[in-house]
Amino acid sequence: MPSPASDDRASRPSDAPSSRPSGPLLGGSGPAPGPAAARRPVGSHTPTAGGLARAALPYVDAAGSEALQIYVGNPRGWALPAGDPAQDAAFRAGCAERGVPVYIHASLLTNLGSPTPETVRRSAATLAHALRRGAEIGAAGVVFHAGSAVDAGHAEVAMRQVREELLPLLDAAAASGGPKLLVEPSAGGGRSLASRVEHLEPYLAAVDWHPWLGVCFDTCHAWAAGHDLAREGGMTETLDALVAAVGANRLWLVHANDSRDPCGSTRDRHETIGKGTIGEAPFAELLAHPATAGVPVIVETPTKQHFGHADDIATLKRLRP
């Protein structure tokens, strides 16, 4: 697949200021950005069991979240549940009142690159459902994993599937001003379609650099995929490489997670910020990099106690400039 020359990327309409997260991503149908949005709003993946507003809003308050991410179905299943209109309305109002942008993480089973047609069909239906739910609750974006070709011989077809399935979703979301889609590179291994940041260039090119597709950068995944974030300057270099691959205005969300495994392991086991193999210092680099200015940062670290992300959120707030 031909790659665009880097010097014409800056002039692409998709890289216009309107695709910045400080623009319509946080505004438009979503909540108004609070004061923290001008910085790097920090929050966490947030539980919703018991009711979207009833469960998530108290968690947001107790954890000190300035942004949040939720599932809108079983993350390990294909069910596409309808929302509860009263809880949706209360949640939407509560998030707007707090000025916290909302992101949806699509089911972890989503794989548009699968060699199994039924999986591709269900993956596209899952994304369509998440986009619809996102519009209902005022979400800014829907995050999904880049996917895997599974079989070595399926790689080229897999990228065609990505194009065929994503383009209609992106066009429909753009036409209605709905949530954006954010592709998250994986931890690598298993014929992954995108794990290292440079793999994002052909992925974005596959959908003609559609203005409604951005990137969610997960630190644990990048580390697992072989980016040495722990070395001094390593995080900065990796984010520079991301900008070189997809331009300065495609990074719309960060998943900040430490790791339990060594660099290049292709294993995706998250750890508390500063307590894992990445360590604390690279997160200060992350939060100081120009590419993350105005970009929400979500932690997906393991939690033991109830409002368990409060410590990680406090750590990141302390580390940001």
Interacting residue ranges for Zn ion, rule: CB under 5 A = 218, 255
Q: How far is the CB of 45 from Zn ion (least distance, A)?
A: 8
> Is the Cβ of residue 31 or residue 185 nearer to Zn ion in the bound state?
185
Which segments within the chain are labelled E, that is strand?
Answer: 42-45, 68-70, 102-105, 141-145, 180-184, 213-218, 251-256, 258-259, 270-271, 297-299
> Is the Cβ of residue 53 or residue 181 nearer to Zn ion in the bound state?
181
Taking the alpha carbons at both ends of the chain, their separation in whole angstroms is: 39
For residues 137 and 31, the answer to whether their CB atoms sit within 8 Å is no
For residues 102 and 95, the answer to whether their CB atoms sit within 8 Å is yes
> Is the Cβ of residue 53 or residue 127 nearer to Zn ion in the bound state?
127
Please choose, from the candidates 175, 173, 97, the residue with its C-alpha nearest in 3D space to the C-alpha of residue 140: 173
Give the Cα separation of 63 and 40 in Å (integer).
16
Q: How far is the CB of 255 from Zn ion (least distance, A)?
A: 3
Alpha helices in 38-147 (DSSP H): 52-63, 85-98, 117-137
Q: How far is the CB of 147 from Zn ion (least distance, A)?
A: 14
> Is the Cβ of residue 15 or residue 218 nearer to Zn ion in the bound state?
218
Residue whose C-beta lies closest to Zn ion: 255
> Is the Cβ of residue 53 or residue 256 nearer to Zn ion in the bound state?
256
Q: How far is the CB of 145 from Zn ion (least distance, A)?
A: 8
> Is the Cβ of residue 73 or residue 99 nearer to Zn ion in the bound state?
73
Please choose, from the candidates 269, 251, 250, 244, the residue with its C-alpha nearest in 3D space to the C-alpha of residue 259: 269
Q: What distance separates the 2 farthest-apart alpha carbons in the chain? A: 50
> Is the Cβ of residue 53 or residue 254 nearer to Zn ion in the bound state?
254
Q: How far is the CB of 242 from Zn ion (least distance, A)?
A: 15
Q: How far is the CB of 73 from Zn ion (least distance, A)?
A: 17
Give the Cα separation of 201 and 321 in Å (integer).
29
Q: How far is the CB of 168 from Zn ion (least distance, A)?
A: 25
